[in-house]
Amino acid sequence: MMIPDSCVHDSSMENGSIETPCTPEEERRIIEELTDKAEANLREGNLYYVVSSRWFMAWQRYIGKIEDDYPFDSSSVGPSSVASSCTKDRPGPIDNTDLVINEVKDKDEDLQLHRTLQEGHDYELVPEEVWERLLKWYKGGPVLKRKMISVGEQRKQFSVEVFPVHLRLIDSRDQSEAVIRLSKKASLRSLYEKVCQLKGLDPEKICIWDYFNKKQGTILVSCSQTLEESNVLMDQEILLKVPVDGVTRDSTGKSLAMVPVESTGSTSSIAGGPSMSNGHSTSYNSNTHEQITSTYGDMEDGHDGLKPEAGGDRGLAGLQNLGNTCFMNSALQCLVHTPYLVDYFVQDYSSEINKQNPLGMRVIVLGELALAFGELLRRLWSSGRTPVAPRVFKGKLARFAPQFSGYNQHDSQELLAFLLDGLHEDLNRVKQKPYIEAKDYDGQPDEEVADEFWKYHKARNDSVIVDICQGQYKSTLVCPVCDKISITFDPFMYLSLPLPSIATRSMTVTVIYGDGSSLPMPFTVNVLKEGNCKDLIQALGIACGVHSDEYLLLAEVFENRIYRYLESPSEPLAGIKDDEHIVAYRLPKRDADLTRLEIHHRYQDNDRKLFLTPFVTDLEDPQSGADIYLAVERLLSPLRRKEFYTSTSMDYSRENGSFSGNTCTDQLGPEIQSTGEIEGEGMPSKDFTFQLCITEDNCLAKLSSHFSWRPIMKNTPIRPSRLAKFLVEWTEKEHEIYSASYLQVLPEVHKSQIFANKSKQQEAVSLFSCLDAFLKEEPLGPDDMWYCPQCKEHRQASKKLDLWRLPDILVIHLKRFSYSKWMKNKLDTTVDFPIHNLDVSKYVKSNDGRHVYKLYAISNHYGGLGGGHYSAYCKLIDGENKWYHFDDSHVSPVSESEIKTSAAYLLFYERVKHNSNGTSDEPSEHLSPS
């Protein structure tokens, strides 16, 4: 791309002369064009470069690519960065040093990054052309080059491989170790070449073995098969053996005969089928007693028997953590202890593999996800107490669902949802899905409509997963305008229930009157701890007596400036911390378009820093500085000292109705009285001696000689805008006229008491209250509007869910994680859920008997969002009602009284079979819906 010479000049900086475009806008244009060009030509092998988010976001702010989420914030990392980064200065040289573990001596070797880094938070990825241009403009480094690879099998995606596979090469001759780094898409042949280059050996005369957990497993034959396909994992060991005259010798000198091995590809066996070798092609040398195995299976755990063994240890095998895979292990343990699935997968299910389903999970073998899960289930039930490494399953999972590749922590519920859906498609008995045209069911009974919907669903979806895990709920939408009712009956795989909070929180907010009619006043209200800003506004409105023609605008004030507005009613209160200062500006509701004024304060003799709490008010079409002076005097009027007031009346107004109201003289302090009349219609009083300044910048973090601000006079024209920021300069004269104490110190949201009693333990929430919250009628969100077929418009309809048909296996997802623009949050609310006799009959609208369930598994999540840990509680199918804690490899007994905790995340229930007399064999439990 050609760049005009006029757009380039030399800018002298500390690190030398750096070539730069003439304006930030030009930089933005050039980079956007280069980025668009790169994204239009995505292909495997393209180079991308890792750039520190800290530097990249500073550059984006400089060019105006992103605006600060908070009006005075730069990186949304917290108040500490406000003052230093609000100016849109040109960033310095690129600095990636915070991403790198350490320097390496070999200049050709890639620098290694910290494993905990996350894209979008710690680093950004830019195409090669963008990096070259940024490096030309800014210099710096270090250079962190990475390649784009293709991931996934069904729906291929491009992904930049930021973290290549690290393998620990162990030389059997002297037990020395070395690190090999390769792409997971690199072939085994490339691995041989890399090892031989490092060791100075001939590729034809060495042998490399999978040495996972330092146990010699399968031979890695030099071929085109990739590391990913060979189930080689990050940081695992591989073993190098070098033959001497055709004989391999280990560190002890023991001779090991080399046996030629040919890769068999990926033949697989069906659990319970005729082959019991799990797809391994084995050769055996009777002289050396060494078995050599080509890959397809979890041979590294030392178990190849597939028939579940009898005995007391059945089902007690743990799952090894392969690197942040506890989320997967937890969900898998719950599934492999599901009675119906165990019965299904230990039998021969080969006839159920759908070989024609385009949605099935296949790589080389059709239905491969079902095969991998089935083999893993059988291995877990045949391994006694020996932990199993689910390498094959993870490899298959990553290729079907690239979002679960790598070694970051994920959500066990998201994995469960994908796995159940994938197993269903692999095992779908419907070979060709028929097209079914939607019908109008107006006037038909619900029973008939529900049966029709279920029949159509089963005509396209028929598998063991549908048989045992899928239910049906009734969805009712009502148009708020024409009252049109729409009813559908939709399938579900699990229920995601919200957690209603009963814990309250005391919050102190200062209310400032936007019309200057009263002094600032703090109010303390109690709100739900897990509530939102709408709840806080409602509580404050009642406390301070907000009228129907007024509203409250919430804002956080930090270092005497508006740090952020809290304008979204759904914003969680969890985003407001106890040590913050929140102001509610009381403003009149207007139909017209208004200009919001932010009035900040600065004291001339105090290093020209901001002080006091800013004002916020609305004006309709301000024309000149006189309008602003009038508004500021109005806002300051309650602070006027007694000796300076001229009248008790405040009933002056503007033609446009911007100001109205009377002073609440009973709320004024001893030194404060109401303001005087304004002299001349629409003109400020003579006593007003402030100097006002206007800034056209979005930032007030630094006000200095080079900052873009200018004084305004009463006749200065004001350009129309949605937001205008002004600065009031105080002198000793103003301090004599006005008392600033009411704006000087804001109370914190909550002041913790050092000697206060510890808060009581939060009361548990009943599972039935979660069901009530899930099934209650509520309006759709603004982003989820419903198209009303009668109005022919999108409407914010009300929605009501009812359970209609329940499955034999009922999975309940407790929605502990919440996400918003400002905050990610986890709820540690304890949910009181039944273990025996969960009776949900009253929630089921169809008349098909009782619906009683018993608990058999729980997926737990401990800790916060960033890290955390998953484990599972499972009851053995034939374990005499004994519960066990499955914590990755570690499995231990646990009493039933210990399994109810605030960590419960996924609950797995099995329908209770009733006797002929209508009773169940389950012990009763005193917990029922109220």
User: Over the stretch 381-393, which tens digit does the pLDDT of each residue have?
Assistant: 988 889 999 988 9
The Cα-based distances of 757 to 283, 314, 476, 529 in angstroms read 71, 49, 48, 19
**Pair type for strands 831-832 and 765-766:** parallel
DSSP-assigned beta bridge partners for residue 852 = 839
Query: What pLDDT is attached to residue 434?
Result: 85
Question: What is the arithmetic mean of pLDDT over 482-491?
Answer: 90
pLDDT level of residue 604 (50, 70, 90 thresholds): confident
pLDDT, mean of residues 761-789: 84
C-alpha 752/C-alpha 397 separation (Å) is 48
Contact 303, 383 (CB under 8 A): yes
Cross-strand pairs, 552: 586
- The sign one gets for the Cα dihedral 353, 355, 356, 357 is positive
For every residue of 734-789, DSSP letters joined together read HHHHB--HHHH-PPPS----TTPPPPPPPPPEEHHHHHHHHHS-EEPPTTS-EEET
How far apart CA 381 and CA 315 sit, in angstroms, is 5
Give CA–CA dist 521/447, Å, rounded.
59
Note if 890 is an active site residue.
Answer: no
Q: What is the pLDDT of residues 834-862, one digit of tens each?
A: 999 999 999 999 877 789 999 999 999 99
Which of 52, 865, 873 has its CA nearest to residue 408? 865
Question: What is the pLDDT averaged over residues 886-908?
Answer: 94
What pLDDT shows up at residue 716? 86
Best CA proximity match to 495, nearest among 927, 805, 785: 805
The pLDDT score that the predictor gives to residue 860 is 95
For residue 745, give the nearest of 570, 522, 524 by alpha carbon: 522
Beta strands in 161-257 (DSSP E): 165-171, 177-182, 207-210, 219-220, 237-241, 243-244, 247-249, 255-257
Token output for 591: 């139909």
Q: pLDDT-based confidence at 56, cuts 50/70/90?
A: very high
Rounded Cα gap, residues 804 and 452, in angstroms? 13
This prediction has a pTM of: 0.63
* Helix intervals (H) in 257-410: 326-336, 339-345, 368-382, 391-400
Nearest-angstrom CA–CA distance, 787 and 793: 6
Let me know if 869 is a catalytic residue. yes
Q: How confident is the model at residue 153 (pLDDT cuts 50, 70, 90)?
A: low
Buried b (16+ CB within 10 A) or exposed e, 675-690: bbebeeeeebbebbeb
Q: What is the pLDDT of residues 632-684, one digit of tens each?
A: 888 888 888 766 655 433 333 333 333 333 333 333 343 444 333 334 444 54
Lowest-confidence region among 239-253, 418-432, 780-794, 813-827: 239-253
Specify the long-range contacts of residues 404-410, CB closer than 8 Å, at least 24 apart.
404/328, 405/151, 405/159, 406/163, 407/115, 407/163, 407/234, 407/322, 407/323, 407/324, 407/325, 408/118, 408/324, 409/324, 409/326, 409/327, 409/867, 409/868, 410/327, 410/328
Q: What is the pLDDT of residue 301?
A: 46
What's the sign of the alpha-carbon dihedral 75, 78, 84, 87? positive
Q: Which residues pair with 276 in a beta bridge?
A: none
Q: What are the φ/ψ torsions at residue 577 (nearest 5 degrees)?
A: -90, 160
Instruction: Please give the pLDDT value at position 734.
Output: 81
List of residues 6+ apart from 794 with CB closer than 8 A: 785, 786, 787, 788
The answer to whether 403 and 157 have CB atoms below 8 angstroms apart is: no
Average pLDDT on 557-573 reads 86
* Distance from the Cα of residue 671 to its chain's centroid: 52
Q: What is the DSSP-derived secondary structure letter of residue 404? A: G
Q: Is the pLDDT of residue 924 over 70?
A: no
pLDDT in tens, 903-913: 999 999 999 98
Give the tokens for residue 752: 């913790």
- Name the helix (H) or strand (E) containing 887: strand 883-887
Helix, strand or coil for residue 199? helix
Q: Which pLDDT score is estimated for 457?
A: 94
Sign of CA dihedral 202, 204, 207, 208: positive
Burial annotation 872-904 (CB, 10 A radius, 16+ → b, else e): bbbbbeebeeebbbbbbeebeebeeeebbebbb
Quote the percentage of the chain above a pLDDT of 90: 29
Helices assigned H by DSSP within 254-367:
326-336, 339-345
What one-letter code names the amino acid at 274?
Answer: P
Is residue 16 pLDDT above 70, yes or no? no
508 contacts 521 by C-beta, under 8 angstroms: no
| Percent of all residues in the chain with a pLDDT value above 70, rounded to a whole number | 73
Q: Per mean pLDDT, which range of 75-79, 123-127, 921-925 is the poorest?
A: 75-79
Distance CA 475, CA 799 (A): 7
For the segment 157-201, what is each residue's pLDDT rounded down to a tens digit? 788 888 888 889 998 888 888 988 988 888 999 999 999 989 888
Query: Using CA atoms, how far apart are residues 298 and 303, in angstroms rounded to an integer?
Result: 8
Q: How far, in Å, are 19, 202, 204, 882 from residue 196 at the CA level? A: 44, 6, 10, 53
Ramachandran region of residue 877, left (φ > 0), alpha (ψ -120 to 50) or beta? alpha
Ranking 7-16, 74-83, 571-580 by mean pLDDT, the lowest is 74-83
| Comparison of pLDDT for 704 and 888, the residue scoring more | 888
Per-residue model confidence (pLDDT) at position 677: 38
Query: What average pLDDT does the structure give for the chain?
Result: 77
Contact 421, 493 (CB under 8 A): yes
Q: What pLDDT is recorded for position 76? A: 32
Could you tell me the two tokens for 374? 């089935």
The answer to whether residues 168 and 179 touch, using CB atoms and an 8 Å cutoff, is yes
Q: Is the pLDDT of residue 79 over 70?
A: no
Question: Annotated catalytic residue: which of 326, 334, 699, 874?
Answer: 326
Most confident of 3-17, 492-506, 911-925: 492-506
314 pLDDT tier (thresholds 50, 70, 90): confident
* 165 vs 333, more confident: 333
* pLDDT confidence band for 289 (50 / 70 / 90): very low
Q: Give the model's pLDDT for residue 453.
A: 93
* Structural tokens at position 328: 């997967």
Instruction: Give me the pLDDT at residue 83, please.
Output: 33
Q: What is the mean pLDDT of residues 717-740?
A: 83
Locate 250 and state its tokens.
């280990």
Distance of CA 773 to the CA centre of its chain: 23
CB 716 within 8 A of CB 724: no
Q: Which two tokens stand for residue 18?
A: 């750096």
CA distance 655 to 132: 59
Q: Which of 508, 737, 727, 705 is nearest to 612 (CA)?
A: 727
Residue 849's identity, in one-letter code, is: G
* Higher per-residue pLDDT: 104 or 115: 115
pLDDT at 777: 85
Q: What is the predicted pLDDT for the residue at 440?
A: 67
Q: Measure Cα distances from 709 to 99, 609, 704, 721, 874 in Å.
A: 38, 14, 9, 16, 66
CA distances from 565 to 511, 576, 618 (A): 14, 12, 15
Q: What are the tens digits of pLDDT across the range 393-425?
A: 988 887 777 777 766 778 899 999 999 999 999
Q: Which of 166, 750, 836, 869 is catalytic?
A: 869
Q: Which residues contact 149 (CB under 8 A, 6 or more apart)?
A: 44, 158, 159, 160, 161, 183, 184, 185
Nearest 5°: the CA angle 737, 739, 743 is 135
- Range scoring the smallest mean pLDDT among 83-87, 285-289, 694-698, 891-895: 285-289
Compute the average pLDDT of residues 796-801: 88
pLDDT digits (tens, 9 = 90+) for 655-669: 333 333 333 333 334
Q: 536 phi and psi, to 5 degrees?
A: -65, -40
The span from the first CA to the last CA of the chain, in angstroms, equals: 70
Confidence (pLDDT) at 922: 59
Buried b (16+ CB within 10 A) or exposed e, 390-426: bbbbbbbbbbbbbbbbbebbbbbbebbbbbbbbbbbb
pLDDT tens digits for range 344-378:
999 998 888 887 665 655 444 568 889 999 999 99
pLDDT tens figures, 743-773: 888 899 988 654 444 444 567 889 999 999 8
pLDDT value of position 112: 84
The encoded tokens of residue 191 equal 């691995």
Residue 3, SS3? coil
The answer, yes or no, to whether the previous bond of 142 is cis (omega within 30 of 0) is yes
Residue 796: pLDDT band (50, 70, 90) is confident
CA dihedral for 513, 519, 520, 523, sign (positive or negative): negative
914 or 233, greater pLDDT: 233
Report the range of poorest mean pLDDT among 5-14, 331-340, 397-406, 600-609.
5-14
Helix (H/G/I), strand (E/B), else coil: 440: coil
Looking at residue 508, its pLDDT comes to 94
pLDDT tens per residue, range 208-232: 998 888 888 888 888 888 888 888 8
